[in-house]
A and B are shown apart, each in its own frame.
Chain A
Amino acid sequence: MEILVCVKRVPDTAENEITIKGDGTDIQRDDLVYSVNEWDNYATEEAIQIRDNVGGTVTVVTVGDSESEEILRRQMAMGADNGILLADGAFDGSDARGIASILAAAVKKGKYDLILTGAQADDGAGAVGGMLAAMLDLPYASLVNKVEVAGNKLKVGREIEGGNQEMNEIDLPCVLSIQTGINEPRYVGIRGIRKVASVEIPTHNAGALGVSGVGKAGAQVKRVDYFTPPAGKGAEILEGSMEEKIDKLIELLKAKGGLK
């Protein structure tokens, strides 16, 4: 099976405090720790496991800049066979539709049976996978937490409300967005990354892909600014030493029935 996994380099929200710049144009990016989007990591692992079961290749692709190459190498160190970087100044400021158009052009340059994305990334939109499927006229399933290959079809589980799982049969080729928890992504060590450090990663620009109308000018959805909402009621923050904080908390908990 020829599998394409779409990945993104994002600020790691588990490792960073996100602070908005004074003028609201962006978040403070100077000291941010970046990593591969968590959902994409599960998608890459799933692709590798499918390939190992039924054969084929795994290609990872990203829309980004030269810095995004590091996450492609990281996913190749996990076991992806190839990486493709889609980079062009004309891509800057693209909305989800723009990103999906760029990826759709890259898909058409290859021949893939299965295309995976993460269920969402740093902007929480979860839009690119579904858009990509619609542009390519392929069937789509989102929030996938189980994949079984069954001939020229897949049996896929979708995570729905209440922890229930919706089982579907979907024709190949198709696009799936992968939910976290579907597998246990393998660990990548420094040695693994060193091994793929010199593998050539082809880069395609807008001209090579034949895409236009993307970037900020083509975006239908635009961010005006980031802002901090007026603080709500908010929590009463307990101050003092650890011991003082815990003493206050225990009193409050006793009053609320949380402690006998």
Chain B
Amino acid sequence: MAQIFAYIAHKNGVVDDTAAELAVAAKKIDASAQVTAIVTGSGATLDAACQGAAKAYAQVWKINKPELAYPNAEVVRKLLKNIVPASSIVLVAHDTFGMDLGPGLSIKMDAAYASDVVGIDGADGSTLKIVRQEFAGMAHAHMTVNAAKGAVLTLRPGSFQAGDAAGGAGAVTDKSGDAGDLGAKRKFLQVVEAETGDVDITKSDVLVSIGRGIEDQENIGLAEDLAKAMGAVVSCSRPIVDAKWLEKARQVGTSGKTVKPKVYMALGISGSFQHLGGIKGSPFIVAVNKNPKAPIFQVADVGIVENILEFIPAMTEKVSG
């Protein structure tokens, strides 16, 4: 079986939750694998991150380079191509970094690529058996990945539950000397923090959240009326912000705000994993959607199959009445 590597995301010396999840996923490919964590960075926090990774991995490779101070995928890709042996399997979290890194890495390694993997059903020789989702989560697919020449997999955060990860107590090896040429034609400049809006949706106990089902900017007022009647705040999913109908600060999801309300009313929201990734703290979720197959019904506590443009005014009237 091929060697398995996991690229570890970390910030301020703390490894991301996905570090342990990648270790769990690796064991699903090969239960006896001695998985190597690769931790890159620069400066004082790197050692703390390596210690964090060592808890879940048998071995840790530390690469300490000024070019790696910020994880620029164009630089990390060159590094991995330089240090990972041919035909290896590389696991990366399917976050905005993994999406930037993975496809190109597979080409440079001449390896297969599968992204946003939500399940692994083991391996048959060098063929990996995985599960993905297509069509905005409305269809699941069993896939095979020919890893004879290696593979790069990005794994959906939260899909591989940590806990049964084998204890690591791994040794940290400094591999900085093997990094090779890290020159890149893309230079990281800075991170611009998200603007704060006039309303802080993260502070509200009840959110009336709207999605594509609201259909028109003119209908936003319907949701505002319901929120007012319920003493709630209006939030939304991505398409509403893309359409510029509500400000970015109202968006719930991995690319928006993370909220922890007591009650979350998902109105006309299909329920993509990026949206669900922004809902924490196990709120009581109410889903209203005219499509009974919308993935949101899988995670909601209560569902109503109705057109929200009819539901919302009727609900507002009842609540106010």
Contacts and interface: CB of A to CB of B under 8 A. Distances in A.
Contacts of A163: 194, 248-249, 251, 255-257
B280 interface: no
Given A157-B192, A223-B143, A258-B230, A96 B113 contact: yes
Given A224-B143, A246-B314, A18 B255 contact: no
Contact of B144 (A222, A236, A243, A247): A222
Contact of A169 (B189, B256, B293): B189
A227 B311 contact: no
Nearest to A220: B112
A257 B133 CA distance: 34
A190 interface: no
Interface residues of B, number: 95
A160 B96 contact: yes
B95 A161 contact: yes
Contacts of A143: 96, 99-100
Contacts of A174: 185-186
Contact of B186 (A134, A169, A238, A260): A169
A81 interface: no
Given A18-B293, A236-B301, A242 B96 contact: no
Contacts of A210: none
Given A222-B143, A226-B139, A257-B205, A164 B301 contact: no
A47 B55 CA distance: 47
11 contacts: A19-B293, A130-B104, A163-B251, A166-B192, A235-B297, A237-B304, A242-B314, A243-B314, A249-B304, A257-B205, A258-B230
**Size range of the interface on A?**
35 or more
Interface string B278-321: 00000011110001110001111111111000110011001100
Contact of A126 (B99, B293, B300, B306): B99
A249 B185 contact: no
A99 to B, nearest CB: 11
B291 A17 contact: yes
B184 interface: yes
A226 B140 contact: yes
Interface string B242-282: 11100011010011111000110100001000000000000
B104 A165 contact: no
A119 B256 CA distance: 17
Majority-rule SS of A interface residues: mixed
Contacts of A127: 102-103, 113, 115
Contact of B113 (A20, A221, A229): A221
Interface string A13-41: 11001111000000100000000000000
B72 to A, nearest CB: 8
B315 A249 contact: yes
Interface string B128-151: 010011111011111111100000
Contacts of A89: none
Nearest to B243: A184
A66 to B, nearest CB: 23
A135 B96 CA distance: 21
B146 A13 contact: no
Interface in B162-204: 184-194
B21 interface: no
A164 B251 CA distance: 12
Given A100-B107, A126-B116, A221-B146, 20 more contacts: A27-B135, A27-B139, A125-B116, A126-B103, A139-B184, A160-B255, A162-B254, A163-B255, A166-B191, A168-B188, A168-B189, A221-B113, A226-B141, A235-B297, A235-B300, A237-B304, A238-B303, A257-B263, A259-B230, A259-B319
B228 interface: no
B231 interface: yes
Nearest to B145: A221
A124 interface: yes
A29 to B, nearest CB: 11
A174 to B, nearest CB: 7
Contacts of A225: 141-142
B320 to A, nearest CB: 11
B140 A227 contact: yes
Contacts of B106: 97, 131, 134
Contacts of A231: 298
A92 B256 CA distance: 37
B291 A126 contact: no
Contact of A97 (B113, B238, B318): B113
B65 interface: no
Nearest to A125: B115
B302 A235 contact: yes
A223 B142 contact: yes
A158 interface: yes
A130 B100 contact: yes
A122 interface: yes
Nearest to A182: B242
B300 A181 contact: no
Interface in A36-88: none
